[in-house]
Structure 1
Amino acid sequence: MDALFHISMLGMLAGLLWAAVAIVRRTRQRRSAWESGVTAQARVVRAWATTQVVNNAARRVQWHEYDFTTPDGGAVRFKEAGGPRERAVGDAVRVHYAPHEPDRATAAEPRPGKDMAAAVVWLAVIAGCAIFLVHEWVELSRY
């Protein structure tokens, strides 16, 4: 039973680490896209919404799939969550992307300060959860 406890604690810590890495990676990708100064006109190919229920509270997440062409003629299609609900299939939008990774583009307006602040808050929450988890792991291991 001890082994299962330790494995589950390691699994939860690994999940928190994975979430932190994902937040940092996406924040850096968006910042790189915004700072590159490279933009393109894209078209909304698909729009849909998903619903997540957490603690009996429904949360709606808007998704869009975009299609654009790079100056060298490469066709790029990418998906992004969190766009405006009014954006519909066929709408034209400006996307920002880094030339070395156009598939990591973003249709979000450049707001690096807000993006960084959100990342810092989420990383602080994850760090707090990790600290609490390690504390409980140590306390419960004593028994």
Structure 2
Amino acid sequence: MVVVAAVYFVVAVGAAVMSGRGLDRNLQGPRLRAAWAEGLTAEARCTAVRTEEVQDAEGGFVLNARPTLEFRTADGRAVSFEERQSRLVPAEGDFVTVHYSAANPEGATTRAPSFGMRHARAVITAAGCFFALVSAVVIAVVG
């Protein structure tokens, strides 16, 4: 039964790692962490707000607002981007603070760095690995 538990553990850890990576990509973790890493911020002006109707998991429809924001980088370059994951929706003409990286200012975001967003991948992977270990021990002992 120990062999079965070991195989289960390896497969479950692999699934936990893939789930963590998938969630991180879905939440745009790499882009957001890159925007926050350098600590660069700028005041951006909302030039437009586009709304789109999307279907949620229960089949209902939800309106998503996507503001287009323009700002100047520290070196004076003008950047325009559409914010996809904003919790706040500025009105056209409003100013908001954006976080960006010098290497990819188009990947800017209005979202402030939170513990959950910065560490979602590690937390999900660690939780999955913990449950894999507990389950494998139970399989080895009980089986």
Q: TM-score, normalised by structure 2?
A: 0.60
Any gaps of 5 or more consecutive residues in structure 2?
Answer: 1-20, 126-143
Structure 1 or 2: more strand by fraction: 1
User: Aligned AA for 1:91?
Assistant: D
**1:80 maps to 2:63:** no
The correspondence for 2:110, drawn from 85, 88, 107, is 107
Partner of 1:10: none
Tell me how far 1:45 sits from its aligned partner.
0.9
- Aligned residues: percent identity? 28
In the comparison of the two structures, how many residue pairs are matched?
Answer: 108
1:52 and 1:24 map into 2 onto residues whose CA distance is: 16
Counting only pairs closer than 5 Å after superposition, residues 103-142 of structure 1 correspond to structure 2 as: 103-111=106-114, 113-116=115-118
Distance 1:28 1:77 in 2: 20
- Which structure 2 residues correspond to residues 51-70 of structure 1 after superposition, within 5 A? 51-53=53-55, 54-70=57-73
Q: What is the TM-score when the length of structure 1 is the normalising length?
A: 0.60
Q: 1:121 to 1:60 in 2, by over 3 A?
A: farther
- Unaligned segments of structure 1, at least 5 residues: 1-18, 124-143
Which has the higher Rg, Structure 1 or Structure 2? 2
Runs of 4+ residues deviating >6 angstroms: 120-123
Query: 8 Å contact 1:62–1:82 — kept in the other structure?
Result: no
Residue 70 of structure 1 and its aligned partner are, at CA, apart by 1.1
